[in-house]
Structure 1
Amino acid sequence: ELDPHARQCIDEHWRWLNSWTGRYQPKPCVFDNMLDVIPRQPPADLSWEGRKRWYDQMPLQGQQVCHTHGGLCSIRSPVPDLDVSGLPCQDNSRCNPKRMFHLGKFGNCYLAWSRYHREQETPLLFLENTPEPCRHFHDVDIKINVIHAGLGPHYGCLQLFADPADVGHSAVSRHRTYVILYHMGKVDYTHDVFDLYREIKKVITSRAHTRPSDYLVSSDAARQLDLVTRCARLRRFGATTKGALEVADALNGREQFLVQQLDIAYFQKYGRAAQEDGELVYYLGDRFEWSRTWSADSGRIPCYRHSCGKYLHRASMQLLTGQEKLCSMGWPITPEVAREMGCAELPSLDPQRSHFLAGNSMHVGNMSVILLIALSCFSVRAQ
């Protein structure tokens, strides 16, 4: 993991897991650059096939610098039972007009990932990425054939499409595809993945579905802490006569004008005032001339992004806090959710950490179901 903020999240999650399992698990090794699994990187002017041959011919490193233990640790042992990876998706996403798929700047990440697991013969691999815009056509976003070719003929490949609505979170946008790869020499495929996913989806969606307002769970103190962080970024530290910050203090001029523009557009389209819609959420990071990014049409909170764009619940005039974003991503933020999930609450009072985690997180509900399905549909072959 290259990002020091993400490495900090790994450490904090390790502490959180130990706090509610009641068992001490040793800290995992956290290595720096995935590309360092081989001694030298290929020249930048090599073609894709040339780079693939380079990775195939290079020996796998035995050790890398570990941020957990402050020294060199083995990257080969123990061999993992399964791997869950969210490799960079910028070159696959249709949001990127200049996307180049595996030919882009992150292509070597996929080669390094494939090279490592092919030699390690990892039994099960789960790769999360952006979905295809149309499910009737293959390889529109992530190039499945390229991923499969990198691992070789010993791996079988299945592709699932997941949506938070499949696990009851129908008020949030986070469409993703999960590629399941299994080593055919070590694992038996015992039950149809797609059938089991459909059955679980049918049961969950018949019992649970959310609305945007369901995620407004932060306390007044947590909201003030979130506003203080936002205002500090804008260098606005003044308080109102009540001694508390208001949402207007955290909005710049463009964002305040955008709210007015969206209000007018909403009234023109639906014939009523925007503040009367208790499920309306605006995304304030886009220009009005470019896009009207809101929940009015879909009933879903617009997809979270890495940018600092704000999400405004129009009826309450409250900005979604990092806590509330995490709640919509299936994390156990409230005591009620944590109790139902059988775990401890996730510490989430730090606004910057919560926003960072929400922008980079897989949906916990989706990933949990997919892991459950994969572990139910595959069995380790007796050696």
Structure 2
Amino acid sequence: MSRPVLLLEAAGPESGHLARTAAASGHPVHAVTTTEDLTGYSPALHNLLAGTLTTDLANPQQALADTVAYARRINAAAVLTTNEYLTPLAAHTCALLDLPGNDPTTAHAAHDKDAMTTAFRAAGVTAPRTHTLATPAALRTRFLRPGMRLPVVIKPADAAGSQGVTVLASLQDADTAWQHAHTAPGMYAATGGRTVLLQQYIPGREYSVESFTQHSRTTHLAITTKTTTRGTHRAELAHTLPTQLPPALEQAIHQETAKAVRAVGIRNGASHTEVIVTPTGRPYVIETAARIGAGHIGELLHHALGINPWIALLDIALGRPARLTPARHHHATVRFLTSPAAGRLTSVTGLPRPGPDTPLVRLRARLGDPVGPAHTNAGRLGSLIVVSPDARTTAARAAQLLDDIRIEVEPHPA
């Protein structure tokens, strides 16, 4: 049997794919977690694991010491994670074990957006102007500076999944926006509150770039078109890839993405870079993460391009050449289900059956659950993936399926 693989937190769809891939390849799979009862681990995933380490993942020094000791004890051949909060821990662990990983000296910049801003500026990445806000009052005084105008983005420095993000259009809402970011929920959150950032609002079309890096050489697999809600809070409603753009624009996006990946020290592993292209065709990097894209983006890569991203992640972590050449040229999209109103979920009908062109149909919410309009990615009720040989057919089929789905909600009493 091959040497063990150690996953830093195995809960979640992406980690589940990675765990199953490693086990199918003959590697015993171990997990580092922060809860003894393995909350969030399905029975199948629980049974797949050869062992677990429980440590305090909110304490970086303790978690690093415990993880390194455990990895040495099981003679781990690879340490990796799909959890954005744990990418710095993965980088430091790999460095101490002399395993393929990212630069530990800059790894925090792939999660902490305040440090990311500094790294982007030093590397010449085209990115929004960003400032730290110590208090709500500081948010107002920022508008006295030349060139700063509404709307702006208020966000926590170290959250993910759109948690705590506000597109601020009125100074009357400044205190609420600051507090929303300061108290945003997240994994392993510090009790003292989160650092709050003010970021220049960039109007334009939203994309993400899905890339893999090995030995500091980056391959961009696809550009993903992102569809989000509008208004004060933004949640992602759809991902579609690969996106066909004019060659000059695609090259410009790839150039800025490559600079961002280098700036935060990604040397071995996946990256997910969010980009906005302005109406004049200028790409701005909003942020980059040292992980594979969430929201089923890994599955879209697999279905559209024939690339197995989970095998690629495992190969990179084991120091083997990753296979990143597309085996097919299809199009894939994921559409997320959202609630039409706040209340209690009473019925979901019209869901399609999984099939060749709909390989995933997933309802994560349960009847009776409290639901509401999606203000963050956590507010989505479910998802479905559609695949076909061309972009137009994929979009039409997804629209038809969504039109057939009925979501019924019993409103909250007035």
Q: Tell me the TM-score normalised to structure 1 length.
A: 0.27
Question: Which structure has the larger Rg?
Answer: 1
Higher helix share: 1
Higher strand share: 2
